[in-house]
Each structure stands twice: as structure tokens, then as C-alpha cells.
Structure 1
């Protein structure tokens, strides 16, 4: 029998994890809404050609494609929602005064997954600010991310900043690098491969050491930037970090590139205690309008599954068993007081069978253990 099996990388989300995921989503979106980020809900699938044009780097190859029996066109299931928000901002909301603040939550589907992260169907939650990528925009986006995670009960948050266009700036200015070597140099820096960097451009070696706790790493990067090519970026980073100081742990890895291929001047990864790997990622990027014009944007995405899997967002069950013949009005009042009531529907029903922690007895909620 294979009727109960699911394809590799897919899974059912059962209680209480599905409930925890819903609470996490509601808390994050509620915090975002309080800052003016209204929810958009993009379609699950789009025409493959249009979606691929908005997905940068390898993400365009990460889409599950199929032929639509109605249009006979190739469609793609989204592997990322950020690009769809960009499409909405550029088309359906192209007339809207800037900046546009949008939030979202929903499933994404990847064509393949890694051995370390075998999941292919994931939940993504996020916010995008379309029309600006200034320091003020970056401060707002990172603060909304931190507040949203706090509202969801996520603790021990840390943010690791990076400068995705760092090599491009340096290669075009104080430390020239042959065009056909730039991609390889980025990869070697990202891998912290000192030997590989030395073989391509030894002047870039100090960048490997310019990583770690934010203030020390920022100071090392400032010392490296003797020519001033990075001054505006480093000043901006400092202002963003100052706005978060004391609220989260901050680190800096200026050459981190994996996952930031489509970001422009700023990228950041979000981590939390007890959660394996990143719980989110964000930064600055551009969206493309139908006339080819590019527009600045800033945002972040959270990966809900990892957060919930770590037990964050869950709450202890508080279920009240309501025996047959109980007063319905009393049960309603108990729900108003925050109880989850589970009514007996037949004589043989028991609180244990319904996973209840309490029983309604003589008008009072009594713990089962008592």
C-alpha cells in the first residue's frame, strides 16, 4: 500500500505543530501589520517564463514546472514568494505611491533539496518594502523582523550582515580583478579559502579576517578600506547596527554570498537559539518593471518550519472536556475565558481520548491529575 505515502521532501503538518505554525504566522504578520505592512497573497503558480524572469541566480532552475491543461502553457510553482511580491508591486500596484509595504505568508515548492535540508515544501513568511533601499528603509525592515520574531516568542535572535556587492566595488576601483576571475574570487572568499584567494588576488586576503562580532569586524573592514571605496556602505552598516544594538546579537561576514546572489548592497541572515541553521534572510534588491526600469526594494523572509520544529511557537495544551448534559452557556463562557472546550458527543467519550487536560465538573475546570 502506497496510498498513505507522500513524495520525498513532503510531509503532513499535524497537531500541535500545525497550530504552532499558525500562531507563529499570525504573530509575525500581526507585528508587520502594526508597522503598515498589509498582506498580499500571490498565486501558487504562474507562467514559467514570467516567474523565471523575476527569479535571480539558480532559483529560476529550482521551480517545479508543468503544462497547464487549460492554456497549454508551461506553468511553474513558486519556489520563493519575494519575486511574486515584486511582480505585484510593479504591475497591479504600480500606480501606488512609494514605498509600498507588503507582507505575505504561504507555501513554496522546490524542485530539489539538499541532504541536510531534505524538505521541498516549505512555509515562507515575510515583508517587502518596495521603492526604497536607503539606510532608513533598512533600519525599518530589520527592526520589523526583530519585533515580529519577538512577538512570536523567538528568543536569542542574532543577525549576520554581509555586503553582496563588495567584490564588484573593489574590483572596479582600488583592487582590480580580471572580469573572468571575479566569480571565482567571490566563491573563494565565500569559502574562506585563503590559498584560493591568494592565487587570484592576494590584496583581498584581509577580507577573510574581517568577519566575526560586528564591532570588531566593522573596525577591521574600515581599516582595510583605506581608499574609501566602501565608506558609504560601512557608514550605513554602522547606523543599521546601532538601531538594533542591545536587542539582538550582531555579526558581520562581508564576503558571504551563498543565498545572496540577487541582493544589492545589503544582505543579512537571521539566526535564533536552539534552531539549526538560518531562520530567515533579507536585504536590498531590485524589481524590474515591464518597461525594463528597475526599482529598489528591501525586505526579509522567515522560514517557519525550522522555527516550529525547534519547539518555538508551541504552547501547552489547555483543553477542557465538557461531559454530556453540561450547560452550553457555561461552556461558552469558558471559551471566552480562554479555554479550548471539547464536548462529549456520546456516552463513552472520555477526556483522555480527547487529549484534554481538565474536565468541567460542577461548573469548575478541574485538572485530570487532581
Structure 2
């Protein structure tokens, strides 16, 4: 009977990440966290397990259904693995930080777990790196999130990308007051989300709504593009709620122009994802060749209130694994890291090799001992495969040191005394 493949030994939707991929993930995560820190955000570290009845207060229906939950044998209560970090931060702010002065600028990086349909092949484990800005209700706060997302994408090596901005209040203003039956309302939302103009027209043809309302809804899938979309939207809608949303977007775009990021911005007023969660401006970041967002976020003014602390809030998170998929090739050079020295010493006494390894590390170099019993040729082959720059071979202390550059096999001789004295000039090329 054939043995199981490595992938078959894991549940669907989760992965192992070997050193090369893991190095890229760490690069992405730390690059994003560095950007967050530059903008004044401080880290929080939520737990990987929560009481479900507490966590679900901050979850919309979609995330609630995708939450892993199980009985806790120790406490007898239902616990859950969070499917998103933002509700956890909302709980922390409302219950642990309510006496802190506002605004709060908080950031994080961590893993979440979500149920996914088996046939989709989607990841169930998601690595998020994001920020939450609590206590500010202003276009400048919304613009800050988008500008940070652009800066984060640039920091990790993305050059071509777009950030699509929507406004759920604009959509709600259009839909507000319409007496559409529940199923028809859901079908209309789906058609708008898929930019299905013909399907939307067919749905609205017999709907019990005014011609003006029909005209406003029909315009939504076409309201996509640059700043000129605001003028088209203003001409298409007449309700006050949608007009206030357009005013908010105009002010955000003015601030983004000051940040110099408007070249990456598109408007999509037919974007309605996040209706369970968000209360105003929403956005998603996309890279060429990847059909799913690498980051998403927006305003969610009602979330902390669910935990007893009303406060305006906005934020966003990167999906680090989507970033990895999109930037895999570009990250190759940025994350390639060699270990400086592999130290080989024959004979039973390895004290000299151990002393030199300690000195190299103290000087800021990376050094490993080739403890595995093998000859020099096998050690050189191992060093080539594992990314070492040099192999340092030692005999007795009076025999000197031979240093072999792994890339081309060129060797040079040095005295043990010079190296013990800290002469590591051979490592600076």
C-alpha cells in the first residue's frame, strides 16, 4: 500500500511552509509591521482561543457560520478559534483599554481559521497583518488607512497594484426605503456585486419600486473608475444618505492626493462586500494576476459598542498568504539569505572550531558547526545545498585555517591567531 503524500497528512486548507517560503512570509510580515510602526501603531497580541458567545458579538452572519467551535473540556463552555482579528481587538479595546486616551492605534499579525467549502480549495488558515484605529470619525482617518495600505504594498515589493474604494452608505442610501422582498433584495445585491447589468435590469423590471429608484439601482454596477465617478454618481442619485457618502469620498480623495497615492486608487460604488461589518468607506487592494484581494478594510463604527464601548473605528488587514502568492517571484532576491560560515574540523578535539564559531557570532556573522561525521567533500556539497557562503576547515591550531568560498571553490589560507584576534576580512566580499 503506497504511503500517504505529505499533503494528505494535513487537513484540507492548511499548509506547511518550508524555509524558503517561511522566510518570505517573515519578510512580508515584518515589512508590514515596520510600516505600521512608522505610522505610530503599537502591537497587541490577541489569544488564539475565545469563548464563542463573546466572540460572536463581533462577527457578522458570514463569519459566524465559518467559525471553528468546540466544547472546552476544562470549562464546559463553547469556545472558538477566531476567524478574524478585528473583533478581538474591538473586545480588547472595549474591556481592557477603555480608560486609555483616544485615539488608539493598534496593530497585529497572527493566524485565523475559517471554514471553507471543500470544493473551492481555499485556505482555511489565514495569516493577517493589520491595524485598527479606534476613536476617530473623520475622512482623514479613512484616508490614513488607504495611504498605509499603499505604503505597505510598496514596502514589500509590489509595484503595480490598485486599491478599490467603495462606500457602503452610498449603497444603503440607494436601497433604503425600498420594499423589496428578502429574496429579491439578495438577488439584487448579488447582481450588483457581480456587475451583472442585464441580470439586474431583469430583476428590477417587475419590482414594485419607483422609476427613480430603479434608475438609481441600475446605475450602481457602472459606477467604477476614477474621480469622475463621483460626478456620475451624484447625477444618478437623489437621496441624502448617498449624497453624504459621496461628500465623504470626495474629502478622502482630496487627502489621498496630498499623500500622493491617487495613481493607485479606483472608485467602485457597486462594491458591497462587507455590509455585515462596515459602516462607511471600504476598500480592497489587488495585484495583477491575482483575482482575490491582498488587503481589505474600512470603517466599522458600531463594532466596539457590541462590547459596551461605543467608539468610531476604522482599520484594514493584509492577507499575507495572498501577498506571498502574488509576489513569490519578486521576493526571491529580497529574502535569499546565506549562512556565512560552516566550520569543519576533523579529529576528536573540536574545541578550536567551537571557539571560532563563538567569535564569529559575537562579531555579527552567522556560523554553524558541521557536527555531522563526514569528509570535507561531503561537507562542501552540503554547504552548497544549504546556502553557506564559506566553509572553514581546521586541523590542529598550529596548522592554520583554510577558507573555501562555496560559490566557486576558491580557497585561501589564514592563521588561527589572526582569526582569533578578530580578523574576518575574508567575509566582507
Question: Where does 1:49-60 land on structure 2 (aligned, <5 Å)?
Answer: 49-60=53-64
CA RMSD of the aligned region, Å?
A: 2.7
Q: Which has the higher contact order (CA 8 A, sep 6+)?
A: 1
The residue that corresponds to 2:369 in the other structure is 343
Q: Is the 8 A contact 1:10 1:119 kept in 2?
A: yes
Separation in structure 1 between the aligned mates of residue 403 and residue 275 of structure 2, nearest angstrom: 56
TM-score, length basis structure 2 = 0.76
Q: Where in structure 2 are there 5+ consecutive unaligned residues? A: 346-352, 393-400, 410-429
- The alignment status of 1:43 with 2:47, answered yes or no, reads yes
Q: Is the 8 A contact 2:285 2:293 kept in 1?
A: yes
Offset of residue 227 of structure 1: 5.7
The residue that corresponds to 1:17 in the other structure is 21
The residue that corresponds to 2:286 in the other structure is 271
Separation in structure 1 between the aligned mates of residue 238 and residue 26 of structure 2, nearest angstrom: 49
1:253-275 Cα shifts (integer Å, max 9, x gaps): 11212344311111100112354
Offset of residue 116 of structure 1: 4.3
Separation in structure 2 between the aligned mates of residue 76 and residue 115 of structure 1, nearest angstrom: 24
Separation in structure 2 between the aligned mates of residue 135 and residue 278 of structure 1, nearest angstrom: 23
The residue that corresponds to 2:108 in the other structure is 104
Separation in structure 1 between the aligned mates of residue 12 and residue 218 of structure 2, nearest angstrom: 42
Separation in structure 1 between the aligned mates of residue 228 and residue 64 of structure 2, nearest angstrom: 37
Q: Is the 8 A contact 2:390 2:405 kept in 1?
A: yes
Where 1:124 maps in the other structure, the secondary structure is: strand
- The alignment status of 1:366 with 2:392, answered yes or no, reads no
Q: Where in structure 1 are there 5+ consecutive unaligned residues? A: none
Q: Is the 8 A contact 1:9 1:113 kept in 2?
A: no
Q: Is the 8 A contact 2:165 2:283 kept in 1?
A: yes
Q: Is the 8 A contact 1:276 1:306 kept in 2?
A: no
Separation in structure 1 between the aligned mates of residue 307 and residue 295 of structure 2, nearest angstrom: 32
Where 1:142 maps in the other structure, the secondary structure is: helix
Separation in structure 1 between the aligned mates of residue 39 and residue 139 of structure 2, nearest angstrom: 17
- The alignment status of 1:331 with 2:331, answered yes or no, reads no
Alignment equivalent of 1:356, drawn from 377, 387, 392: 387
Separation in structure 2 between the aligned mates of residue 218 and residue 167 of structure 1, nearest angstrom: 14
Where 1:368 maps in the other structure, the secondary structure is: coil
- The alignment status of 1:305 with 2:321, answered yes or no, reads yes
Where 1:331 maps in the other structure, the secondary structure is: helix
Between structures 1 and 2, the one with greater helix share: 2
Separation in structure 1 between the aligned mates of residue 388 and residue 253 of structure 2, nearest angstrom: 45
Alignment equivalent of 2:296, drawn from 276, 281, 286: 281
Separation in structure 2 between the aligned mates of residue 43 and residue 90 of structure 1, nearest angstrom: 16
Alignment equivalent of 1:207, drawn from 220, 241, 249: 220
Separation in structure 2 between the aligned mates of residue 291 and residue 309 of structure 1, nearest angstrom: 36
Question: Where does 1:1-370 land on structure 2 (aligned, <5 Å)?
Answer: 5-113=9-117, 115-172=119-176, 176-178=177-179, 180=181, 182-194=185-197, 195-197=199-201, 198-199=204-205, 200=207, 202-203=214-215, 204-211=217-224, 213-226=225-238, 229-245=241-257, 246-247=260-261, 248-285=263-300, 286-289=302-305, 292=308, 294-310=310-326, 311=328, 312-314=330-332, 315-325=335-345, 327-328=356-357, 331-332=360-361, 335-336=364-365, 340-346=366-372, 347-348=374-375, 350-354=379-383, 355-360=386-391, 366-369=405-408
Aligned pairs, number: 363
Of the two, which has the highest radius of gyration? 2
Offset of residue 235 of structure 1: 2.8
Q: Is the 8 A contact 1:82 1:128 kept in 2?
A: yes
Separation in structure 1 between the aligned mates of residue 70 and residue 319 of structure 2, nearest angstrom: 25
